[in-house]
A and B are shown apart, each in its own frame.
Chain A
């Protein structure tokens, strides 16, 4: 569905200001009289707090206050759930132990705050942290996911009988029946690693309380201004209208910035009121590693029931999911894993079951991909294992089992993170798979290139994997479109931006409806002072849900403009058109009225307003889909492995994606690029490693390997498909997480293929040169 602007790769409107340093990020904001906060954080993963001595810290010149849990009294209690529990799933059980704003009596992960310092400068605040003495009684840390559920394990929350935080079992068809029908049941165990969101801009918050106006202003790069405003107001006993949350320019989100009621926003809002001074806290990188949130640690026990010819009869996946020390985000991540395990393939019988486990580690909440890639990884690995055991090629077994192009809408019977049954709304998986094979030149590589290079002693391999991405889920988003007297248009939404080009793509949608220059559309996101409804930036839902709301609001404004212009121009609406910033009679272009003049006339200052009309060239619209729109695609990868160092070089990647209508194809490509980079990090570089004491040993960019330019594929080819989603008028599906999802799957397959003669088989989604070396040694029986 193309328009003058929609479906066009126009350059981003936000860039000229952004690239010259003419914008404001959070830490750029300075307020008169502003104080600075720093946290004293626990060095232990699990310990009882015997005493905290803050007396020396309080004496330091420049320190305004040092506060521990007891200084906050009853204000300190576990925060609200950020996501409701999955009561829609029959038999699901859960316990909620939500985030403590500051540790009371006990610390449950290394990095948990035990005190907060407020000082005249950040330097002084950090100095004071060094003068706080905490006497701990160390406890045995709960680190290993499976041991955590064994009887006798130490308990993260001692009021609970075990470390189990929840259990979900979902089944379609009958796994028991699948086993009976199968010729072969293949079993594997898989380990999933944890990753950091690692946005380049860390988290932070600035709070200002105006005691005369009784008004709080919060600047924060949050992914949900609405949650932050509502939870703050409720906690402080204020009306929502007394709290305004503004997102400045934000340097990436990737998931962790969705969280609210974390220590910083809970404590700093309170202290800004109490001290009657604005307070800024800006996280440093070490804090971001230790104590924001991250993903992901799962252990899967998987069984695939197949026929001799490779036809899948059923899949059983049983897994443990690490939720960290608290579970404010409930089960979004493991539910995504469940819903993304079998979506690309015909799997008549599917049993999926997980336990959520508390550990003495950082809180787990979604990071780009948000559990989807683990479901995809498990399935793709099982197909590779089946291909191996059945003597088939990875291509053949996938082709045999891919959902056909006429399967949609396809009801999966599995309830997802949005608490409704997953439905694949549209797609064409066989074509995207075929296209990927062509772009990576699969047959040519396997038949001609690989044998030649292998003859030269080169360890080259190829992989190909499929994925889906459930996107654009509910509940809803909204937008207001307003034409000003200047003829320009303002779009406001409660949705937030962290670099996704909403200032351009939302403008493209509106410009097409109202016939204005896209440069005359100003988009304001993430400011509750302008728009106070919405859910937040997650699940690749910006353009799909907020974009659709914007489209619907623009359509309403268009109708209003036509109706009013029809009266003024004395011409029927059907004969009018909106173009070049005016409404005109299509056949008589000289007969027109500008949108600016119409906007002025739409707000009568005297006389009577016609019943049934509303003032202004303005409209609000909301959009909530019945279920999410599912994007999908496939990826091919050619690698070369250095047999001495086991370093993997990415020679070529082909990535085919279907996100329905791309509002701005250039922006879509950019989203895929970024996702691919995170996927490569996931597959080979990034890893949050906790030792047996629950200490994060990769808490800096020295140890946590961030993928760099030389780590990217030497050649990347993108392929696009467009099967429009029937769920929304523009036919859009989300794309934000797509790139990140299938990379570990394709990477492991390609490296295995490169090292084929060793017989190596990988059972984890994060490799490294030393890991590959170890696997190869094990395969050799060394």
Chain B
């Protein structure tokens, strides 16, 4: 058995202590060790953005971070947003604008946007395109995602 390291990570407000191999990816830790499978893995080389989570409030790609690097940090995943009966405004906007089809990339978009709209609550269309440019989607052509972000910004402003 390979050498392991003890880490303490707070995920969605809950603290976890685990022994992990130093090479374990944060994405695998979240998905397979903690069972939080809402975070998806699309490329494992930091390009597609499907695995985006928040680390201390900032959107990061969990497939190019080791779990040991998250030691002492706070992680938020899609499970921290809304529930089917109580959706986050960005989730609600995605549904209303048909901004998801297969839904595999969607959690990554959501986490990118939670971070982004927090910093820039009233983006222009061009800024929205730039903001989501690091997240790949194969189903929607991004058109409805852009519309959803506009709607989400409105919803969040009126909250």
Contacts and interface: CB of A to CB of B under 8 A. Distances in A.
A285 B42 contact: yes
Contacts of A669: 98, 144
B141 A673 contact: yes
Contacts of B139: 200, 252, 499, 670, 674
A11 B35 CA distance: 29
Contacts of B57: none
Contacts of A254: 138
Contact of B96 (A11, A20, A201, A499): A11
B116 interface: no
B72 interface: no
Interface stretch (A21-29, A316-324, A537-545, A625-633): A21-29
Contact of A673 (B50, B134, B144): B144
B66 interface: no
5 contacts: A14-B103, A19-B87, A123-B23, A498-B102, A674-B141
Interface string B117-132: 0000000000011101
Contact of A21 (B37, B98, B133): B37
B76 interface: no
Given A201-B104, A669-B98, A20 B138 contact: no
A641 to B, nearest CB: 20
B95 A25 contact: no
Given A28-B31, A252-B139, A254-B138, 17 more contacts: A12-B95, A14-B103, A16-B85, A19-B94, A20-B78, A20-B82, A21-B77, A123-B21, A199-B102, A200-B137, A201-B104, A249-B102, A284-B44, A285-B43, A500-B101, A709-B135, A716-B143
Interface residues of B, number: 61
Identify which of B43, B110, B138 gathers the most chain A CB atoms within 10 Å of its CB.
B138
Contacts of B140: 670, 673-674, 677
A15 interface: yes
B145 interface: yes
B53 to A, nearest CB: 11
A199 B100 contact: no
Nearest to A16: B84
Interface string A268-310: 0000000000000000110000000000000000000000000
Given A21-B37, A677-B138, A285 B44 contact: yes
Given A252-B104, A708-B136, A21 B141 contact: no
Contacts of A20: 38, 78-79, 81-84, 87, 91
A200 B142 contact: no
B130 A710 contact: yes
**How would you classify the secondary structure of chain A's contact residues: helix, strand, loop or mixed?**
loop
Interface in A476-529: 498-501
Interface in B34-56: 35-45, 47-48, 50
B95 A677 contact: no
Given A499-B102, A677-B141, A710 B37 contact: no
A61 B2 CA distance: 10
Given A500-B101, A674-B138, A710-B130, A701 B45 contact: yes
A19 B108 CA distance: 11
B32 interface: yes
Leading 8 A-B pairs by shortest Cβ distance:
A21-B38, A251-B104, A499-B102, A677-B141, A673-B141, A701-B47, A28-B37, A499-B101
A198 interface: yes
A258 to B, nearest CB: 16
Identify which of B83, B107, B140 gathers the most chain A CB atoms within 10 Å of its CB.
B140
Interface of A: 11-12, 14-25, 27-28, 30, 61, 123, 198-202, 249-252, 254, 284-285, 498-501, 666-667, 669-670, 673-678, 700-702, 706, 708-710, 712, 716, 739
Interface of B: 1, 21, 23-24, 31-32, 35-45, 47-48, 50, 77-79, 81-85, 87, 91, 94-96, 98, 100-107, 110, 128-130, 132-146
A701 B136 contact: yes
Nearest to A253: B102
Nearest to A718: B143
B103 A18 contact: yes
A670 B140 CA distance: 6
A220 B32 CA distance: 18
A200 B50 contact: yes
Nearest to A250: B102
Contact of A16 (B43, B95, B135, B143): B95
B103 A251 contact: yes
Contacts of B107: 21
Contacts of A716: 143
Contacts of B134: 708
Contact of A30 (B32, B128, B129): B32
Contacts, number: 176
B102 A677 contact: no
A123 B4 CA distance: 14
A28 B136 CA distance: 20
A709 B132 contact: yes
Given A20-B91, A251-B102, A499-B103, A200 B138 contact: yes
Contact of A19 (B40, B85, B110, B138): B110
Given A200-B138, A670-B144, A17 B37 contact: no
Identify which of A17, A19, A284 gathers the most chain B CB atoms within 10 Å of its CB.
A19
Identify which of A11, A20, A24, A674 gathers the most chain B CB atoms within 10 Å of its CB.
A20
B138 A678 contact: yes
Contacts of B23: 123
A26 to B, nearest CB: 10
B133 A709 contact: yes
Contacts of B50: 200
A669 B104 CA distance: 19
Given A12-B95, A674-B139, A19 B42 contact: no
Contact of B103 (A19, A27, A674, A677): A19
B23 to A, nearest CB: 7
Contacts of B84: 16-17, 20, 22
B1 A252 contact: no
A19 B31 contact: no
Contact of A666 (B38, B98, B102, B138): B98
Contacts of B136: 200, 701, 706, 708
Identify which of A123, A667, A673, A676 gathers the most chain B CB atoms within 10 Å of its CB.
A673
B95 A11 contact: yes
Contacts of B37: 21, 24-25, 27-28
Contact of B133 (A17, A501, A667, A708): A708
Given A15-B100, A285-B42, A285-B45, A200 B105 contact: yes
Given A12-B95, A678-B138, A706 B48 contact: yes
Nearest to A679: B141
A249 B107 CA distance: 14
A18 B94 CA distance: 11
A536 B32 CA distance: 31
Contacts of A198: 138
Identify which of B39, B40, B107 gathers the most chain A CB atoms within 10 Å of its CB.
B40
Given A21-B37, A709-B145, A712-B142, A667 B47 contact: no
A702 B77 contact: no
A734 B95 CA distance: 23
Contacts of A667: 98
A632 to B, nearest CB: 20
A700 B78 CA distance: 26
Given A12-B95, A701-B48, A709-B132, A25 B104 contact: yes
A16 B24 CA distance: 31
